[in-house]
Amino acid sequence: MAIQIEQFEVRIPLVHPFRTSFGVQKEKSAIIIKMTDDEGNVGWGESSLESVPGYCYETSGTAWLIQNEFLIPAFKGISEDTFPEIGDVHRVFAPIRGHEFAKTGLESAFWSLKASREGKSLGEMYGATKSKIPTGVSIGIQNRIEDLLQRISFFLDQGYKRIKIKIEPGWDYEVLKAVRKEYGDVPLMVDANSAYTLSDKDVEILKSLDRFDLMMIEQPLDYQDILMHKRLQAQISTPVCLDESIHTFNNALMAIEEDACRIINIKPGRVGGYYEAKRIAEALGKDKVWLGGMLETGIGRIHNLFIQAKEEFTIPGDTSGSDRYFKRDIITPHVLVDENGYIEVPRGEGLGFEVNEPLLKEYTVQHLSH
């Protein structure tokens, strides 16, 4: 079975700069993967990264290299004679250590190709049962509290069901106090992207956030840590949620079993693909998992939509509408959020959306065919 693989490295301007405790993003960087089999079936996937190693060590540059040198040859090795199974892809990537986002681009394109080939919806492949999913929005650090309040109103008016606020020392207690004062008991959570430590001063701040009845606090401490989060969780009532620290099924189970966190932010890219993401969701179940995001382009967004249609995902995710990120997304139609904060899960074969290939080409800075 000859499967043609194309890599497109893209840069897409964001409608609004996204500031977190680790930096400011003005454009979305990603590698889009297109797979075509010898009967003309097509699959699309995304390695949803950044151009700098701020969130994790991977960048679009490292993913390009690892895909070219190792992952694509490994994939070609198993797909030459037969059409592989999803588990085969996962297995052949396992000896190539780390580089989870690089793997996810190829793995997700393969899920999508397989769905097209079998005439199934991608959702069916992921075990989706719901026809719409509840969704939230992640709001970056602003210059002034008034600007943040305005951003929140903007999204609540559109129907978003849950607000996530990025925090860092100096942009935490007072900000949340103002938000609670203005918006009462709106479902609210925060994400520190590793901006705090277990110092007495930081622990005092983190404890003080308990009074805001937050759904969770995401990754307050070091990006690789589990143990310090366990020590923190023992001192605060707000559920800790781990994002950056979790790269495998084992990490996720250990963190929950050890009470280092009460909830896991599943990002398929961060755990090496949708096979692993599905496994974590199925093992931990409702209330312990939700789906995060990486400002995905439309392609990664659709995959994220389908996996959230699994019954385990009841907590609103970070998958917002296309217009929250881009003026023009690379899929048709754009992903839309209704006035009640839901996104409809597409029906139909494969992705259920068209990829806007001319626009994809406009945003492409580097293209290779294998």
**Could you tell me if residue 170 is left (phi over 0), alpha (psi between -120 and 50 degrees) or otherwise beta?**
left
* Residue of 9, 172, 218, 225 that binds Mg ion (CB under 5 A): 218
- The set of residues, in sequence order, having a beta carbon less than 8 Å from that of 244 and lying 6+ positions away, is 55, 56, 193, 194, 219, 223, 224, 270
Q: Which of 28, 164, 267, 288 is catalytic?
A: 267
Site string for ligand OSB, 131-170 (x = CB under 6 A): -------x--------------------------------
Within residues 177-206, the interface with ligand OSB by CB under 6 A covers: 191, 193
Q: Toward Mg ion, which CB reaches closer, 191 or 276?
A: 191
- Give the separation between CA 97 and CA 103, rounded to whole angstroms: 10
Shortest distance, position 169 Cβ to Mg ion, whole Å: 17
Q: Toward ligand OSB, which CB reaches closer, 138 or 233?
A: 138
Interaction between residue 241 and ligand OSB (CB under 6 A): no
Interaction between residue 243 and ligand OSB (CB under 6 A): yes
User: Is 177 an active-site residue?
Assistant: no
Residue the block writes with tokens 């396992």: 94
Shortest distance, position 22 Cβ to Mg ion, whole Å: 10
Q: Toward ligand OSB, which CB reaches closer, 36 or 59?
A: 59
**Preceding amide of 134 cis, omega within 30:** no
> Residues 311, 279: contact at Cβ < 8 Å?
no
Within residues 305-324, the interface with ligand OSB by CB under 6 A covers: 318, 320
What is the total count of residues that contact ligand OSB (CB under 6 A)?
11
219-258 as b/e: b if 16+ CB within 10 A? bbbbeebbebbbebbeebebbbbbbbbbbebebbeebbee
> Residues 193, 219: contact at Cβ < 8 Å?
yes
Shortest distance, position 217 Cβ to ligand OSB, whole Å: 12
* Residue of 163, 175, 295, 302 that binds ligand OSB (CB under 6 A): 295
Q: How many CA atoms lie within 13 A of 260 on its CB side?
A: 23
Shortest distance, position 34 Cβ to ligand OSB, whole Å: 22
Phi, psi of 75 (to 5 degrees): -65, -45
Interaction between residue 30 and ligand OSB (CB under 6 A): no
Shortest distance, position 50 Cβ to ligand OSB, whole Å: 7
Phi, psi of 28 (to 5 degrees): -90, 130
User: Is 267 an active-site residue?
Assistant: yes
Q: Which of 34, 103, 164, 166 is catalytic?
A: 166
Cβ burial, residue 340 (10 Å; 0-12/13-18/19+): exposed
Shortest distance, position 193 Cβ to Mg ion, whole Å: 6
Within residues 303-362, the interface with Mg ion by CB under 5 A covers: none
**What are the residue ranges of helices labelled H in the chain?**
60-66, 72-79, 86-93, 100-117, 122-126, 145-158, 173-183, 200-208, 227-233, 249-257, 274-284, 298-308, 357-363
Active site residues: 166, 267
Which residues in this chain contact ligand OSB in the complex, by CB under 6 A? 55, 138, 191, 193, 243, 292-295, 318, 320
Which residues bind to Mg ion, rule: CB under 5 A? 191, 218, 243
